[in-house]
Chains A and B, each alone.
Chain A
Amino acid sequence: MSVVLLLLGGLTGAPEKAAPSAADCYGCHAEKSFSRKGPGGRKIPLFVNAKQLKKSVHSELSCDSCHAGITAGNHTDGEQRGKTASLYKACRGCHEAGKTVHGRMVSGAGAPRCRTCHGTHGILRVKSTQPGCLSCHGRALSKRLPNGKSLSLRIDEAALDRTSHQKLKCVSCHAGFTNRVHRMIKGVNRIARHRSTDVSCLACHAKVTKLMGEGVHQRLKGDRAQRRPSCSDCHRAHAPHAHVVSGRQSIARCRQCHSKVYDQYAQSVHGAAVLKSGSRDVPACVDCHRAHDIRNPGSKEYRSRIPELCGNCHADRKRMKKYNLSPNVVQSYLDDFHGVTLQFYRKEKRSVRKIAVCVDCHGIHDIQSTRGKNKVAVKKRLLTRCRSCHPKASAAFPDAWVSHWIPSATRTPLVYWINLFYMIIIPLMVFGLGLQVLLHFWRYAVKR
């Protein structure tokens, strides 16, 4: 190859000051297989498609309009090659970078070059090309935020293709966006305006709209409403499996506003398991509070459903077996005095008194294991809780609650033996008296 080049150089004689005509260049560059070896033996094509160039917006320009200063004889050495490589400088001769988004995007180190998007010899009029969003956002595009952080604006196209939204267009979510609108949006709300809003999600996800409408966050007003979580906070917007929200992701979002609760939760038996070992068996925020129709946890309705809420896991035999926990805790609560009262209050759709539920003894976000050293703390809390409704309760009073145990000869002998006594005596009595009745009837009515 280099032999050919040298030969060409030899034919044209000494370097000339005059610019070469297009025909001069095509002498070599019209050859389809014309190429040179780059670093590491890489093949760099040097073919220029004349037909394409004719159709391009630059068809009127001569070769040296862009490849300035190159003559037939001087462009084979290293120095001149550098000129072809820094072509964007040539573009700048006519096209100023400006202070637009586009201008900033193509300036600076590591920025994409003009030709990366627009091509070279086949360059077309921008208006006729309709570049897609990904022609910019598919690249390493980022924005420096007022707080100094850098916000990546790059969208991974490959990942996007694996989402459930793969058939949607960008504007399906980023509604009303065009290149023009894009340039027009300015000011503080710039980022907010660029983001897809919940409204775009709700256009298709109508059921969730209804649920969201019932949630407590919808009632927030003013500044606080601005901090309301949006769909994409938990459901990652451009990533696959957006419907699956990991516990940690939603917890992190809740933490942004509910940091005190988070601190308690992180120390609890549930929080520690999800944050340290990523367990999926323990509840994250949304498992108890729900994701969309988040109800006021201070309401009586919410409170009255707590046993079932805990029961979602604690009555699940399979899951409880894994941790060697009793799956009967909820049923034993519901069978006892407070549980019965609670169930009737629910049927009556009213709640006159605050009936003790799971969280009153076990705690809420700071819930701890009832084993080992925690056992004492739980007992202590129990007495405090008893006294909030039974103010004169003595120290033995909490023991009236037999701690979710099904009566057994070892743990609750009194209850166990009394039960057993009646389990025997009642059938015996019924059988004995029934037999007497039958015999009496038979003797007096049938066989007089």
Chain B
Amino acid sequence: MAEQSTTVPDSFLRHHWLRRVEHWVGALLFMGLAVTGLAQRFHEAEWSGWVISAMGGIDHTRLVHRWTGLTFTLMFMVHLAVAVVGVLWRRWQPSMLISRQDFTDAVQNLRYYLRLAEHPARCGRYDYRAKFEYWGVVLGSILMIATGFVLWFPVWFFQSFAFLPGESIPAAKTVHSNEAMLALSVVVIWHIYNSVFSPEVFPIDRCMFTGRISRERMLHEHPLEYERLTGEPAVHLADPDPVRVAESAPDDAL
């Protein structure tokens, strides 16, 4: 015990400070877009009137929405560039790529929730929930950015893509507003729960502030990542149920 605690650190750096800044900038932009966008979508609601008059009128609201969107687009492009450069030049692990194991992990976790399995899935650096959300954000952003620009510059759009029917504009509007609702519901239900209300992190997951995660949580939530970093088996020292930990060991082979 004493040996291990000297070689294995108490906490691990999980997110570089640049990633954390990126996260919070993205979160702020997302919230700004959500507020200004929802007020336009639900224009008949009373609260929409408050928001829009607080923003200084519909024209100003649209201006803010569009420039926030443009900033978001830039941030998104920087993110993609960093990811590509990091993976190709700096030899980063493409740990966000979806693998077959993510599906089996999801099934395993569902079985665990329903008490059909004794232990939860053993996940790596990013579990299937994080990957689902990440790719949801990437694909959703592409859709939102593309349709957003069509709605911002409809005349330019028809000049550039003359072969497209006029219906493209209302179609873009439909995609933009529906995709926004989808993204918003995923964030509100899934992301807020997992990082705020989940019993594992409540009252809040501090990882996105400090960038660090405790050894205990690392063992619990990212055992494969723990093993990769420390070279030691992910045996939880203070686990109340040693049988579960022991049983989970053979799964490492998967």
Contact = CB atoms under 8 A, between A and B. Distances in A.
Interface string B39-77: 010010000010011000111000000000000000000
Number of chain B interface residues as a range: 35 or more
A256 to B, nearest CB: 43
Interface string B199-223: 1100000000000000000000000
Given A347-B53, A352-B59, A429-B182, A444 B166 contact: no
Contacts of B175: 418
B162 A344 contact: no
Which residue, A352, A392, A393, A440, has most C-beta atoms of chain B within 10 A? Answer: A440
B230 interface: no
Contacts of B189: 430, 433-434, 437
B113 A442 contact: yes
A272 interface: no
A425 interface: yes
A424 to B, nearest CB: 11
A445 B193 CA distance: 13
A444 B199 contact: yes
Contacts of A188: none
A441 B171 contact: no
B80 to A, nearest CB: 24
Contact of A392 (B112, B155, B169, B199): B155
Nearest to A402: B170
Chain A interface helix/strand/loop/mixed: helix
Contact of B155 (A345, A393, A436, A441): A393
Contact of B58 (A345, A401, A407, A430): A345
A445 B175 CA distance: 38
A343 interface: yes
A418 B58 contact: no
A347 B173 CA distance: 23
B167 A415 contact: yes
B11 interface: no
B168 A414 contact: yes
A193 to B, nearest CB: 55
A397 interface: yes
B interface: dominant SS = helix
Interface string B142-167: 00000000000011001100101111
Nearest to A401: B166
Contact of A402 (B49, B114, B167): B167
Interface in A387-426: 390, 392-394, 396-402, 407, 412, 414-415, 418-419, 422, 425-426
A422 B165 contact: no
Contacts of B166: 396-401
A117 to B, nearest CB: 71
Contacts of B200: 444
A393 B162 CA distance: 11
Given A347-B53, A418-B171, A429-B185, A443 B159 contact: no
B198 interface: yes
A337 B59 CA distance: 12
B115 interface: yes
A326 interface: no
Interface of B: 40, 43, 49, 52-53, 57-59, 110, 112-115, 154-155, 158-159, 162, 164-171, 173-175, 178-179, 181-182, 185-186, 189-190, 193, 197-200
10 contacts: A348-B57, A394-B159, A399-B165, A399-B166, A414-B168, A415-B174, A418-B174, A425-B182, A426-B182, A433-B189
